[in-house]
């Protein structure tokens, strides 16, 4: 039996808990609850053959129900449901639990209950993962005791991280709106709101519901805590009034008299110069905003300017998110495979002031790419297209006046063609503007393939 290092609590001893949804969060929640003395049942609608973790759970004595979610499962008299964040509340089992007043939490709430570590929570529509990564790296600079860990929606189990974290550590949690709907006591010492747009309305039904879900990140904060908020929107400024914590603003375009902000291409915190915006290693206006959020958080927690600049001047980006891969023969290669929609590619293109050779294409979802014509005109020198949407992208690029367009069968072919189309000083950017599923299992596989192709072409290794 594993030796537990997590905080000892009796809340779940002899309780019957239903974990709804397997995956990484559900599996680790089930294991943790069993270790805390609960009787656990895990249910997932997928068949067992698609859930390799099920056998390990069965071997531990955890009951699993797969291939269906029985309508009468709640008749077993559960004391609690731990829900996969992605399962909506109109799911029949979840809806029934709500109607029967069965408590429902998500895995991050469980993680918060079993750790004495300091928690930094980060939410927002865009920029969460990059901001979490920046903050975590900065907090590990010049650290005398403990370690900072990234966890949560970033793809790292919050409960597994909480088990190893001590009171000397910091857990920097990426928190989606779905996760935040299932918290009760999670209490970040620093909560960060990067921005709020109109996302996930199929799940939340209204923008108001979505905003309220995001704002749960600060609901348990006190005046001893910090709420780091983007002040580039009047709406977001007003949201800061809902928090009991000390508000620490950041802004790239608005004038503010304290907090972290950009002015004339320089980044400041409370009038103290931190660094030049152009010295941030990852490109794009959005990454200046992410860096400002990280600076505000780091300064609130007492980190030095050197700790901040050591990270922001060298951090090459989160993998597959406008990630700098390497430079060869005066060309810089970037992997933005996570750009699975038009808006993401627009943002990526706007981040460069050098000519871009664009690699794009993927799953055809039935829309055109004319929305990108302004970005094509301003930033794209030439394009190499692949996948189901190659012809549609070609039409929009031609409307933008781009004549240098080549279509290829695969990403493997696209990389050498893009290099041949480029000149010294150019950016070679994979930013597909499409989902990957026509040719790849997911965007991660697509991005990894791009990196391998670049390494093969240049005989150099990816920079980390």
- pLDDT tens by residue, 295-320: 999 999 999 999 999 999 999 988 89
The parts of the chain modelled with pLDDT lower than 70 are 1-5
Phi and psi torsions of 377, nearest 5°: -60, -40
362 marked among binding-site residues: no
CATH class of 16-105: alpha beta
Q: Is 407 annotated as a binding residue?
A: no
Alpha helices (H) in 301-436, listed in sequence order: 305-312, 342-350, 373-379, 390-399, 411-421
- pLDDT for the residue 202: 83
351-390 core/surface letters (b: 16 or more CB in 10 A; e: else): bbeeebbbbbbbbeeeeebeebbebbeebbbbbbbbbbbb
Cα-based angle 396, 400, 403 (whole degrees, multiple of 5): 90
> Is 387 known to sit in a ligand binding site?
no
What is the dihedral angle through the alpha carbons of 10, 15, 19, 25, rounded to the nearest 10 degrees?
Answer: 10
List, for residues 45-69, the tens digit of each pLDDT value. 999 898 988 889 999 999 999 998 8
Domain with CATH 3.90.190.20 in the chain: 323-458
**16 marked as part of a ligand binding site:** no
pLDDT at 1: 34
The answer to whether 127 is annotated as binding is yes
Q: Is 124 annotated as a binding residue?
A: yes
Task: Check residue 308 and give its pLDDT.
Answer: 98
What is the CATH number that goes with domain 323-458? 3.90.190.20
Can you name the CATH fold of 115-312?
A: 3.40.1190
Where do the CATH 3.40.1190.10 domains begin and end in the chain? 115-312
In the numeric block, which tokens belong to residue 213? Answer: 């879900």
pLDDT on residue 5: 63
């Amino acid at each position: 039996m594993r030796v537990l290092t997590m905080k000892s609590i009796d809340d779940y001893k002899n309780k019957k808990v239903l974990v709804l949804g397997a995956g990484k969060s559900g599996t680790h929640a089930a294991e943790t609850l069993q270790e805390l003395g609960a009787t656990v049942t895990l249910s997932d609608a997928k068949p067992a053959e698609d859930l390799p973790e099920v056998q390990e759970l069965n071997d531990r004595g955890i009951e699993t129900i797969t291939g269906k979610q029985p309508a009468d499962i709640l008749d077993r008299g559960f004391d609690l449901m731990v829900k996969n964040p992605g399962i909506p509340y109109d799911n029949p089992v979840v809806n029934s639990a709500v109607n029967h007043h069965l408590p429902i939490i998500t895995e991050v709430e469980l993680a918060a209950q079993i750790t004495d570590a300091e928690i930094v929570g980060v939410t927002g529509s865009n920029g969460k993962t990059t901001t979490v990564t920046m903050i975590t790296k900065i907090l590990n600079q010049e650290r005398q005791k403990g370690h900072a860990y990234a966890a949560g929606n970033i793809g790292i189990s919050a409960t597994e991280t909480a088990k190893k974290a001590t009171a000397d550590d910091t857990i920097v949690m990426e928190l989606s709106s779905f996760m935040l709907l299932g918290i009760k006591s999670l209490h970040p010492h620093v909560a960060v709101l990067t921005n709020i747009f109109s996302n996930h309305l199929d799940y939340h039904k209204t923008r108001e519901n979505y905003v309220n879900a995001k704002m749960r990140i600060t609901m348990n904060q006190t005046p001893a805590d910090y709420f780091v908020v983007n002040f580039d929107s009047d709406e977001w400024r007003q949201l800061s009034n809902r928090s009991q914590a000390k508000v620490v603003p950041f802004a790239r375009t608005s004038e503010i008299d304290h907090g972290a902000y950009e002015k004339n291409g320089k980044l400041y915190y409370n009038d103290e110069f931190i660094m030049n915006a152009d010295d941030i290693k990852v490109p794009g206006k959005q990454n200046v905003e992410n860096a400002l959020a990280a600076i505000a958080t780091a300064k609130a927690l007492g980190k030095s300017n050197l700790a901040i600049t050591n990270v922001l001047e060298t951090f090459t980006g989160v993998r597959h998110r406008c990630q700098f891969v390497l430079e060869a023969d005066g060309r810089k290669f970037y992997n933005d495979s996570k750009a699975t929609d038009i808006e993401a590619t627009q943002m990526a293109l706007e981040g460069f002031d050098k000519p871009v050779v664009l690699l794009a294409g993927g799953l055809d979802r039935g829309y055109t790419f004319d929305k990108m014509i302004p970005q094509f005109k301003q930033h794209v020198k030439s394009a190499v297209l692949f996948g189901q949407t190659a012809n549609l992208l070609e039409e929009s690029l031609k409307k933008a006046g781009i004549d240098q367009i080549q279509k290829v069968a695969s990403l493997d072919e696209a990389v050498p063609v893009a290099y041949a189309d480029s000149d010294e000083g150019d950016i070679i950017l994979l930013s597909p503007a499409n989902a990957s599923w026509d040719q790849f299992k997911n965007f991660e596989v697509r991005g990894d393939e791009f990196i391998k192709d670049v390494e093969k072409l240049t005989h150099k290794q990816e920079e980390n």
